[in-house]
Structure 1
Amino acid sequence: MISKAVRGGNTFGALAYLYGPGRANEHTDPHLVASWDGFAPDPGRDDSATLQELRDALDLHVVRYERKIRSHVYHRIVRADPTDRILDDEEWGDIARRLMAAAGIAPDGDPDGCRWVAVRHADDHIHILATTVRADLRQANIRKDQYRVEDELTTVEREYGLKCLADTRTRAYRATAPKRATGAELRKAQRQGREASERDRLRVAVRRALAGAASEEEFAARLAAQGVLLGVRRAPSGDVTGYKFALPTGDGAGPVWFSGSKLAADLTHPRIHARFTVGTDPPTTNSPTAVRYRASATVDHAARTLHDDPAPAEVAAAVGGGIEALDALALTSPVLSRKEINHAARALEYTAVARTHAARDGLRAMRSAARELLHAGPVTGRGGEGAAVATILSSLILLAIVIAEWHAAQGHQRQAEAARTAADHLRTAYGRHAARPAALLDVQGQRLPAPVRDRQEEAVRRALPVDQAALVLAGEDWAVLAATLAEAEQAGHDPTALLADAAGRRELASADSPAAVLTWRVRRDARLPAPAPRGRTAAAASRTTSRATTPPTTAAVPASPGPSSPDTARRGR
């Protein structure tokens, strides 16, 4: 459940809204489910009761107070999660009484508590309206009421068997989660026929402009290219102290500005500036395929750092850099996967680590990968490009999984769920790119001569632990991996060494298909060409057959070095 309270000074106006049709005729059958004494007049179900009568009852102590109160109306909304069962009126009434007690409006056993009513006009939520003057003519002490209400909501969720959102109520979660659009912003977007609110569209645009940007000037230029207005607040010295953003309007009204803090906690000027100080490495190639293979190695390295009780700073770097990499990938990916990758990036926003500065080296590596992706430009998803996209998506899936595992271990269930949602979107995108090259490899693998196939099976058993080897060999993608290993062997590589290196970068138990994960890593590291179409499969099989009786007896040196991981690059230096 979620709940928030607002203050006001017009009791009748608030009641007129609650018992009225709503802004979009969404209010149906408004009626009381509970009140301070159980006998309040109900204009929704009692034809003889009026709004004025209910207003006068609620305002009784306010009138007796005889001194002006700035905001005597306390209006709290309580909404169930969309996945929760529908609660009946009695259950909602019990929840309202408990929350009013927790808030300090009407404490349990206090005969002088404030007057309040709970109105229901939809299945999934209620409105609680109270006046804040007690019967003893003192004002209610509702300071820090939100924290007490949220604690009570957690208890309610557990007792009623509802979805528990306790972790979303922590200060840490609220400090890192993207800022929600208001009801007014959502209604405006609906009137304009847009899927997202202005706040949400701005947040995405700012993130995309930030992905891999090396300087404030580049960031501002990218915003302008998207049509986003940038306002810069400066100190008397001329130093930048803040950013604000807006989308241009075509209706004659002025733009609606949002500060970075009103979009997300990490989009304030200090946090954005900190990313520029981390820096990025200059792009080294214009080949979209090579860039995606190199980026996948960077992502693999980031996932590997999250093993064995990582520091929060390393997780923060993986999350922040992962969002930038996903935004860059969404901007340069084929249409068939662009939407899913964007959804994954948006889900990953809810996995940020509170009050933690990202590890500089990890963030720099991921930001550099994002910069290279944008610099290399879009891909078509065909041929070698399709295999390269599948490879980086496979790496990003595992990164999302390890982020989910870390949050789950910390008890951050909402963040873990968001990371798993990101992984689900990436799986969908991966399937769209991997299906064709995997099908071609499966055909090749099924046609391998028995000696070649047996040799690759033996390589798997030598390179992997017993349980992992059994998992790979029993998987439906084993033929795909066997074809790749045979092809790598044909190119002069040692399949056992390739497998050991690929498997050593990340445990495979959490992968949907360990064989598929190893396939793309081996192809990337061995720099194998795109899987051949059916017309060229026979020739490849013929070449493989000619080597069937002369297996290599020593580890072969790779014909050409594959894209190196950050660890490999450091060893080389």
Structure 2
Amino acid sequence: MVDVKQFPSGDVRDYTVSPKGDTNAQQEPIWYSGSALAPDLSLPKIRKRVDATEPQESPHTTIPWHRATAAAESIPHRLEHAEDAAAQAHLAAFGEAFNALPLRAPQTIRPQLRQAADAFERATRSRVQAEHQHARALRGAVRAMIREPAPKDGALLAMFLDAAILAVIAAARWHQLRNHDQQVAAAHQTLIQLQAAYKHTAVAPLTALAQRRPPQQVVQRHTLLIHQTMPDHAKQAAEGPSFDALTAVLAAAEKAGHDPKQLLQQATGERALDDARSPARVLTWRIERLSARPVPSERARVARIRSATRWSVAPVRPTTVASASQPQPPQARRR
């Protein structure tokens, strides 16, 4: 139950909530303010996060699940390179995605997702003050995602969970580098539940994709592209159980008019594969999402090639400063 308190003008002043059946000795409901439940559930802090939500659709993709997945894929890069206040904002927004996910998941994996959400809630908190405007896109994508009907074939959900696993591994690393021991433990507990949910969800769509494996000559050509694009992970990808699914989505994308080499370059860009137990599986979902976008026009392709060429021949400025030794990242749980 929710009791909304208003000013004489009608504007909302505050709110309290009462779980059904939670009563005192007089059988009257016990009411709790938002701030009594959690520091970030006070009305001013809720408003602050709502105001920092991107309202408009992304120009690149109109599928909300793809938008949310793309935002989740960007989290490891942002945690590594952003200021702490911005990184904390992304962790908070990502935690909100976990809370919303069970609403759009099949009954069979809701228990694992709820446990993952409960565990990760602790990993979203630290003494770092979040600047929520940095996570506008992620929060807007999640908001759009939960307004969509639940996905029917499991592929969209598996795609998001796959990106979420790498994001949680990155969150554990971010907290460990800052000696946030409780948050690290919470992130590891999240991984256990998340990996169980992913394993249950991904089997059917990956099997269906693998059954569409292209002819051997196409597989050989795409294998060569994979070795050229991601030499550090190509052998692991080619030997993995999801390689047939990867070649299937590459062949389908090429048939639709996409350049498979460009898709692989986009898929491996800033989204590192070092934490992925199965690079082929991660790339399968990324290619599947990227190939859902409209095929670039010929003019756009020429402009992209010119831009890539210009950057590739740009002179490298010499540096006289030796790179400082960085602390070795902790051993994260691999998928």
Q: Which TM-score applies when normalising by structure 1? A: 0.47
Q: Which residue of 1 aligns with 2:228?
A: 462
Shift of 1:406: 0.3
Distance 1:359 1:246 in 2: 30
- Which of 401, 407, 432 is the equivalent residue of 2:175? 407
Confirm whether residue 392 of structure 1 aligns to residue 139 of structure 2.
no
Give distance in 1, aligned partners of 2:47 and 2:271.
33
| Correspondences of 1:196-275 after superposition (within 5 Å) | 228-232=1-5, 242-249=14-21, 253-275=27-49
The alpha-carbon deviation at position 502 of structure 1 amounts to 0.7
How far did 1:274 drift? 1.4
> Residue 17 of structure 2 aligns to a residue in which SS?
strand
Q: 1:404 to 1:558 in 2, by over 3 A?
A: farther
Partner of 1:291: 64
In angstroms, what is the RMSD of aligned CA positions?
2.9
The residue correspondences of 1:127-526 to structure 2 (distance < 5 A) are 228-232=1-5, 242-249=14-21, 253-282=27-56, 290-308=63-81, 310-379=82-151, 381-382=152-153, 386-445=154-213, 448-464=214-230, 466-526=231-291
Q: How far is 1:281 from its partner?
A: 0.5
Amino acid at match of 2:119: A
Judging by fraction of residues, say which structure has more helix. Answer: 2
Look at both structures and tell me which one has the larger radius of gyration over its CA atoms.
1
Aligned counterparts of 2:269 and 2:58: Cα–Cα separation in 1 = 27
Q: Is the 8 A contact 2:175 2:181 kept in 1?
A: yes
In 2, distance between residues paired with 1:506 and 1:320?
20
Matches of 1:509 and 1:423, distance apart in 2: 16
- CA change 1:526–1:279 in 2 (3 A) is closer
For the residues of structure 2 that align with 1:283 and 1:254, how far apart are their CA atoms? 45
- Structure with the bigger percentage of strand: 1
Following superposition, the deviation at residue 284 of structure 1 comes to: 8.0
Deviation (angstroms), 1:404: 0.9
Deviation, structure 1 residue 280: 3.8
CA 1:449–1:279 in structure 2 vs 1: closer, same or farther (change >3 Å)? Answer: closer
Q: Which runs of 5+ in 2 are unaligned?
A: 301-335
Distance 1:277 1:318 in 2: 15
Would you say how many aligned residue pairs link Structure 1 and Structure 2? 295
Distance 1:361 1:319 in 2: 13
Contact persistence 1:232–1:240 (CA under 8 A): yes
CA–CA distance in structure 1, aligned partners of residues 245 and 297 of structure 2: 21
Q: Tell me by how many angstroms 1:341 deviates.
A: 1.9
SS at match of 1:444: coil
Structure 1 unaligned residues grouped into runs of 5+: 1-227, 529-555, 562-573
Instruction: Work out the CA distance in 1 between the residues paired with 2:58 and 2:189.
Output: 33
Distance 1:489-1:282 versus aligned 2 partners, 3 A rule: closer
Rate the CA distance shift 1:240–1:375 in 2: closer, same or farther, 3 A.
closer
8 Å CA contact 2:54–2:140 kept in 1: the answer is yes
Q: Give, in angstroms, the shift of residue 517 of structure 1.
A: 0.7
Q: Is the 8 A contact 1:229 1:245 kept in 2?
A: yes
Amino acid at match of 1:405: R
Partner of 2:310: none
Cα shift at 1:522: 0.1
Could you tell me how far apart the structure 1 residues matched to 2:58 and 2:283 are?
26
